[in-house]
Amino acid sequence: MDILLLSNGKIAGNTHVMEFAADAIIDQVKRTGAKHFVVIPYAVIRSSHDDRVALVQATFDKLGLDCIATGLHNAPDPVAAIEQADGIIVSGGNTWVLNKTLHDLGLVGPIRKAVLKQGKAYIGWSAGTNIGCPTIRTTNDMPIVTGAILSSLNFVPFQINPHYLEASVEGHMGETRDERIQEFLEVNKHEPVIGIPEGTWLAIADNNISYHAANGKPLKFFSYGNEPVYYQPGDDVQFLMDLSY
């Protein structure tokens, strides 16, 4: 498998989606030989799916990659489109809508087969990263659809909280992100959570995992009964792939 799980789409100063991970994307394309990427835009709520696909194509063009992005939402047979593509890109947006749509269309199995068995490239950001986990329970998004489904693609054996922010607002009485993650761990004691700040990503190739950041920010590893642990970009985080529920 060859997977990039980005915390988000842009950071300050970026003009294109995924721009902060440009080198990783270029390397992945060279490594896998992927030319045709199918873009899954189902998470997008406040703009059009076609516009999101166009943003991905603009990024390919900016990076000088000879890659074509097509939208899965336009495919008459989405399963066939997954099978025929060289790679898969999953946009951010609302994770609940995205995950439910993948299940409703019968795409979870085909995507897992494409990525885990056939080695097709996978890039996700935000919601597209959330669905790479066993479940989507550590998303930041509101469950705006009924009949929401929790289980997801299960590429990695841990939960991820994208857009992770270690901050509290003076005078604000709601829970901090850390407090919400600790609540999750109180109920799900054997399911560790990785907080990845904006501008960072996880790269998984052949079961080897590494952590990267365009801004030097560390990831934060949460596990039940233990103090959170920080890992800097370049630190050895291979233990993450050996975790189990």
For this structure, is 126 an active site residue?
Answer: yes
Q: Is residue 143 part of a domain?
A: yes
| Residue 245, pLDDT score | 60
Q: Is residue 179 part of a domain?
A: no
| Residue 147, pLDDT score | 85
State the SS3 of the chain: CEEEEECCCCCCCCCCCCHHHHHHHHHHHHHHCCCEEEEECCCCCCCCHHHHHHHHHHHHHHCCCCCEEEEHHHCCCHHHHHHHCCEEEECCCCHHHHHHHHHHCCCHHHHHHHHHHCCCEEEEECHHHHCCCCECCCCCCCCCCCCCCCECCCCCCCEEECCCCCCCCCCCCCCCHHHHHHHHHHHCCCCCEEECCCCEEEEEECCEEEEEECCCCCEEEECCCCCCEEECCCCCCHHHHHCCC
Residue range(s) defining the domain that contains residue 119: 2-158+196-217+233-242
CATH code at position 66: 3.40.50.880
Closest CA to 155 of 128, 137, 180, 173: 128
- Of 49, 73, 163, 212, the active-site residue reads 163
Closest CA to 204 of 150, 165, 153: 153
| Residue 20, pLDDT score | 98
For this structure, is 141 an active site residue?
Answer: yes
Output the tens digit of pLDDT for each of the chain's 245 residues: 999 999 999 999 999 999 999 999 999 999 999 999 999 999 999 999 999 999 999 999 999 999 999 999 999 999 999 999 999 999 999 999 999 999 999 999 999 999 999 999 999 999 999 999 999 999 999 999 998 899 999 999 999 999 999 876 677 767 899 999 999 999 999 999 999 999 999 999 999 999 999 999 999 999 999 999 999 999 999 999 999 76
Domain count, the chain: 1
Q: Is residue 183 part of a domain?
A: no
Q: Is residue 169 part of a domain?
A: no
Q: Is residue 170 part of a domain?
A: no
- Of 7, 141, 152, 178, the active-site residue reads 141
Phi, psi of 133 (to 5 degrees): -85, 170
Q: Is residue 112 part of a domain?
A: yes
Q: Is residue 152 part of a domain?
A: yes
State the SS3 of 126-172: CHHHHCCCCECCCCCCCCCCCCCCCECCCCCCCEEECCCCCCCCCCC
For this structure, is 49 an active site residue?
Answer: no
CA-CA distance, 218 to 230, in Å (whole number)? Answer: 6
- Of 126, 152, 178, 212, the active-site residue reads 126
Q: Is residue 180 part of a domain?
A: no
